[in-house]
Structure 1
């Protein structure tokens, strides 16, 4: 019997923090985009998820939890997963170990104090990790990460201690007790739909929703046909997918998933499901599959 596909609807609930932290934008207009994310888009998405009776994962910075506690409590009360996404949408790249620890701990503290949540999952802001990140996630008790791209529709064990040599083969570090739920920029709504101008950074998505819908449904159909029991991991941002007609894209994705008999799982559920039948972890220097 062919195993059912899994769909993980992941929302990076950045709120205000993404604009100053990632783009250096602190003006009133940028802040208002974060306010739209929390006050308008997130509740709109919650209503859709309730109507469709599907669960999702909200990767949420501690700053969002503290700034918009009411909607964060609604997310938890509805049975959705809250996962770690930094404190102020900080990229771990460029942080020394002490600073990265401080960001992890500050995010954990906010989630615990405001929501009573101890997250099992983590997604790095901007999909980037430091050399210390995966090892620290294991140390702090995380079960999974969702920041890397070595697979498209199959989880795998994350590693630590990789070494990039420019004069000989890449050196693969040992696998960790940390499930990696892979991501992809092509299954991320932000570069497809958002416009940001903050020199030297420019994001000029602004695609019409139909194009994005065709991309995503095409990948979902391919996974169902070619990767039995695959995990379709989405990265969406309430401020992007939750504006106007873009909501129809999310509706279409859910409808197509139901047509395929997919199971809508939180990322934590998908990670634990994979862990239950996962291959043994490999030691240092083992090449990736």
Structure 2
């Protein structure tokens, strides 16, 4: 595959418009969970399927993490978006059904959490199709929101998602406000609800026996999240959380997340919303502007 390295903006999405958040809110908070379970450990490294201790990191989701996260969302009366790989839904149907029964949005997160690669289009598209099929089979849901497994995307995949009925993505790292991806002749671009890498709990709470990456404690992570949230709030942006039950469902990190969410809830001018609600609001703003 020949790579086009001509200097240009590599994301051709139009500039982000001004946003007015609902009900006088100054900023928004999007609580999103990636329910990877074992796919985080086998999707890009299939040989791990025979390493039971390695995959037990992900097995924590079904045994403990999902239930504890659903419990926390219920306690705080927060509706979140849970991005679920199709394999996870098939492997752990009861736990995934508990998410749906609690009233949370179900998002698409691939099938086996494989990294989408532009030189393997058929495999990338199959991940989308199999993910849809599994979520429909287990939960009776066809999601309208997508978070890229391993956090990657490319133009053909964005187009495939849009033409399959997807309405928004939450994967890119290049803004603090939602925006719309460039579309094609036969489809509108997805709304992007961008991510701040600082709010990905995996970076601070997950390692493995074969990794030298350190784990960060409560004080470091909580203060960073509060500081980053306050700055995003001051700029009127969206604070997008990329959380994992196998990380934030662990005992200390559960209390860390709870403390952060309670901090945000103390403010009267933050709109806490699902991805679908944010995407709908963005589309309504477009309509009001005559776009």
- Report the alpha carbon displacement of residue 160 of structure 1 after superposing the two structures with TM: 5.9
Distance in 1, matches of 2:212 and 2:179, equals 30
Calculate the aligned-residue CA RMSD, in Å: 2.2
Is residue 191–residue 203 contact of structure 1 (8 Å, CA) maintained in 2? no
Distance in 2, matches of 1:22 and 1:190, equals 16
- How many pairs does the alignment contain? 264
Matched, 1:208 2:217: yes
Unpaired runs of 5+ residues, structure 2, are 1-22
Is residue 11–residue 237 contact of structure 1 (8 Å, CA) maintained in 2? yes
- Select which of 227, 249, 254 maps to 1:242: 249
Q: Secondary structure at the match of 2:190?
A: strand
| Equivalent residue number for residue 65 of structure 2 | 41
- Report the alpha carbon displacement of residue 197 of structure 1 after superposing the two structures with TM: 5.2
1:1-150 correspondence runs (5 A): 2-23=24-45, 25-26=48-49, 27-94=51-118, 96-150=120-174
- Report the alpha carbon displacement of residue 252 of structure 1 after superposing the two structures with TM: 1.6
- Report the alpha carbon displacement of residue 248 of structure 1 after superposing the two structures with TM: 1.6
Cα separation, partners in 2 of 1:57 and 1:203, compared to 1, 3 Å: farther
1:255-270 correspondence runs (5 A): 255-261=262-268, 262-270=270-278
| Equivalent residue number for residue 191 of structure 2 | 179
Q: Secondary structure at the match of 2:265?
A: helix
Matched, 1:195 2:217: no
TM-score (norm 2): 0.85
Distance in 1, matches of 2:95 and 2:204, equals 26
- Report the alpha carbon displacement of residue 213 of structure 1 after superposing the two structures with TM: 0.8
Is residue 213–residue 253 contact of structure 1 (8 Å, CA) maintained in 2? yes
Is residue 190–residue 205 contact of structure 1 (8 Å, CA) maintained in 2? no
Moved runs in structure 1, 4+ residues, more than 3 A? 278-281
Is residue 17–residue 89 contact of structure 1 (8 Å, CA) maintained in 2? yes
Is residue 204–residue 215 contact of structure 2 (8 Å, CA) maintained in 1? yes
- Report the alpha carbon displacement of residue 130 of structure 1 after superposing the two structures with TM: 2.9
Q: Which deviations, in whole Å up to 9, do the C-alpha atoms of 1:148-196 show, x marking residues without a partner?
A: 11202x10112368xxxxxxxxxxx9x9431001012211000111113
Cα separation, partners in 2 of 1:95 and 1:249, compared to 1, 3 Å: farther
- Report the alpha carbon displacement of residue 244 of structure 1 after superposing the two structures with TM: 1.2
Structure (1 or 2) with the greater helix fraction = 2
Q: Secondary structure at the match of 1:83?
A: strand
1:151-190 correspondence runs (5 A): 151-152=175-176, 154-159=177-182, 176-190=188-202
| Equivalent residue number for residue 276 of structure 1 | 284
